[in-house]
Chains A and B, each alone.
Chain A
Amino acid sequence: MSILVNKDTRLVVQGITGKTGTFHTLQCIEYGTNVVAGVTPGKGGQMWEGKVPVCNTVAEAVKEYGANVSVIYVPPAFAADSILEAIEAEIPLVICITEGVPVRDMAEVRRRLYFHNTKTRLIGPNCPGIITPGECKIGIMPGYIHKPGRVGVVSRSGTLTYEAVWQLTQRGHGQSTCIGIGGDPINGTSQLDAVRMLNEDPNTDAIIMIGEIGGSAEEEACAYIKQHVKKPVAGFIAGASAPKGRTMGHAGAIVSANGAGTAEAKFAAMEDAGVSIARNPSEIADALLKIYKPNT
């Protein structure tokens, strides 16, 4: 069991007929995800790969095929518009994989999410997606490294999440749900949002949070963990060796000139919140297993 996505998820893929959309949708279907429709404006009525009906609009995918989660693979210039379309179709969960969305577009999307009684949660953009192992995979993560279980994982980074998940799986510990929140400075779901959901999930027993330099998302999550989370939490922050003022690949990964957002500040917040710290990315699972002793 899990948060946000499971075997009852009915997925619509925005940008299903594109190269990226096609490749990853095939992978997700192979994993067992229930893809009920795709959206490519102008291609409505077609059958994608002979198996999934294509709609012109997200609203149609909701009405005709009962879609309740959307994933977005459209190019960066159109990604914000696609998110807004999904919000207006009142899809409860939207996952935007697209990398390179203009920050100004995301500022507008964030307003729409926060101030109009929105029914939608957005994950991403610039993220690997979300997976509830054994039930539903949405996004670009490799399915086979995961295993059903009771550890929740939230992360700003894709491959670093795979690293942590693979460590867990190799040590025999499965995952409830793994969420990649993405590496952009303005996104839909924060570390805090994800940690809160995993904390409230009865089927998650322990949490791993993986952060990066830049911003204060990890500090905010740690303040919540200190107050409310009784489940064991382990954490890692990437970017301790990064120089100030340079953006390290992710637009959000930057230590500002005045030193805000450093790895040291984030590790300190974790320490203060009682989070078991991995100083090294190879030890993320071990950091959790130091404080988490499952019965099995």
Chain B
Amino acid sequence: MNIHEYQAKRLLKEYGVPVPRGYAAQNSKEVETAISHLGDEKIVVKAQIHAGGRGKGTFTDGYKGGVKVTENRAAALDAANHMLDNTLVTNQTGPAGRKVQTLYFTEACEIVHEYYLAIVLDRETAQSVIIASTEGGMDIEDVAEKTPEKIIRVPISPTMGLRHHQCRRVAFALGFEGDQVKQFARILTGVYKMFWEKNAMLVEINPLVTTPTGSIEALDAKVSFDDNAIFQHPDIQQLRDLNEEDAKEIEASKHNLSYIALDGNIACMVNGAGLAMATMDIIQSFGGSPANFLDVGGGANEDQVTAAFKIILSDPNVKGILVNIFGGIMKCDVIARGIVAAAKNVEITVPLVVRLEGTNVEAGKQILRDSGVALTPADNLVQAAELIVGQVNSAS
């Protein structure tokens, strides 16, 4: 789960990491209040969406920049009026962009140098790793590619935690001296504590900056949490912003279905994540384009199958449906009954190809034959993919 910059900074502040003073706003009244809390001097206005590249982004009405350094309150208000409820397109949002429903106003701060600091879980070594660089404020992937020697990596043992010498090592590698070494060590300790206690997968501060007074502050922050551990953190659950998620994905999560919206036109319904990905792959290899990833799981019941059809069909791009079930624990007759029930509940107006295999497959096929539901049965995955791609192409 991802959170917004302003939420990430509030959390960091709780863990003792200095951040510029700032206020979030979701409507014009809150905008006025937020601006009035800041002085009539330079104010930074930042669009809050779950995607990077905001500064270089463009709004769909042509307004440029989702992050603006403004000269005074009036200019901040003007920028806010352009951004709020407008749609921002960045290199990470896709062409549709994201509607900006929250703005964040912060004090502007003078920057001496920009650094990069992150803690991320490294799956290969099964440890968290500090990643730091003197090249802050830019894409860390670019730094890693062009100047890999400028990336500092220090692994942290999950059983021993972060040690003082590791903090010093990173501080000296970044070139800090004197009091800044201590400041940095406090910041890194706070970041790691937050990472560990809140079951984060990533805490990224880019840039971490030094100011003319010598203080170190986090100017931007990105945090994502382990979905498997969210149940342990009711405070983090409250930070979830449903506006940032696809409505179909939210609906699917209510029914314990694993669904991800994609931009193709052939919907898939599959049991098992690996088989679901493989089904998307084979649709693509026949020249089709998958509209979604959908794993109904190992023990789906009729209600879930019906919910899955409703979600699939609420996507206006869908021009055909491929159901691919390899019944193991999940029995084919249960899936078949689910399809029949769904067809009674939801009008299926697009071609439907069903491939059943595995436990109780004959009973499942019989139920589908007897039901009179308009569908094309397939005996194997290749045939199923060929059929649905053919039917969708001939219909369009």
Contact = CB atoms under 8 A, between A and B. Distances in A.
Interface of A: 23-24, 76-77, 100-108, 110-111, 128, 140-142, 144-145, 155-163, 166, 183, 185-186, 210, 212-213, 215-216, 236, 238-243, 246, 248-253, 257-258, 263, 279-282
A103 B121 contact: yes
A261 B279 CA distance: 19
B61 interface: no
Given A103-B229, A248-B260, A159 B275 contact: yes
Given A158-B328, A212-B277, A239-B280, 9 more contacts: A23-B329, A103-B121, A107-B127, A246-B260, A249-B293, A253-B273, A281-B279, A282-B282, A282-B381
B274 interface: yes
Chain B CB count within 10 A is highest, among A144, A212, A239, for A239
B358 A145 contact: yes
Contact of A157 (B157, B232, B274, B359): B274
B196 A281 contact: no
Given A108-B158, A140-B298, A239 B144 contact: no
Nearest to B359: A142
A107 B281 contact: no
B273 A104 contact: no
A162 B358 contact: yes
Chain A CB count within 10 A is highest, among B159, B226, B280, B281, for B281
Given A162-B358, A241-B280, A101 B228 contact: yes
B357 interface: yes
B127 A157 contact: no
Contact of B328 (A142, A156, A251): A142
Interface string B218-232: 000000001111011
A185 B123 CA distance: 6
Contacts of A161: 274
Contacts of B359: 142, 144
Closest 3 CB pairs of A and B: A157-B274, A249-B273, A159-B272
B363 to A, nearest CB: 14
Contacts of B232: 77, 102
B1 to A, nearest CB: 11
7 contacts: A106-B126, A144-B359, A145-B358, A163-B275, A163-B326, A239-B278, A280-B381
Given A107-B121, A166-B358, A241 B273 contact: no
Interface stretch (B32-40, B283-291, B367-375, B387-395): B283-291
Contacts of B281: 238-241, 263, 280-281
Contacts of A128: 328
A101 B226 CA distance: 10
Contacts of B271: 159
A213 B329 CA distance: 25
B149 interface: no
B328 A243 contact: no
Interface in B346-393: 357-359, 380-382
A162 B332 CA distance: 14
Contacts, number: 167
Contacts of A238: 274-275, 277-278, 281
A276 to B, nearest CB: 17
Interface residues of B, number: 53
Given A106-B126, A249-B293, A280 B228 contact: no
A280 B282 contact: yes
Nearest to A158: B272
B126 to A, nearest CB: 4
A88 B294 CA distance: 39
B276 interface: yes
Contacts of B301: none
Nearest to B331: A142
A263 B285 CA distance: 14
Nearest to B280: A241
A77 B260 contact: no
Contact of B284 (A23, A155, A241, A249): A241
Given A239-B281, A240-B284, A282 B382 contact: yes
B295 interface: yes
Contacts of A156: 274
B273 A102 contact: no
Chain B CB count within 10 A is highest, among A156, A239, A242, A249, for A249
A111 B157 CA distance: 8
A107 to B, nearest CB: 4
B124 interface: yes
Nearest to B275: A159
A257 B141 contact: yes
Chain B CB count within 10 A is highest, among A210, A248, A252, for A248
Chain A CB count within 10 A is highest, among B228, B232, B290, for B228
A258 B127 contact: no
Interface string B143-157: 010000000000001
Contact of A249 (B123, B277, B329): B277
B6 to A, nearest CB: 22
Nearest to A249: B273
B277 A248 contact: yes
Contact of B226 (A103, A140, A249): A103
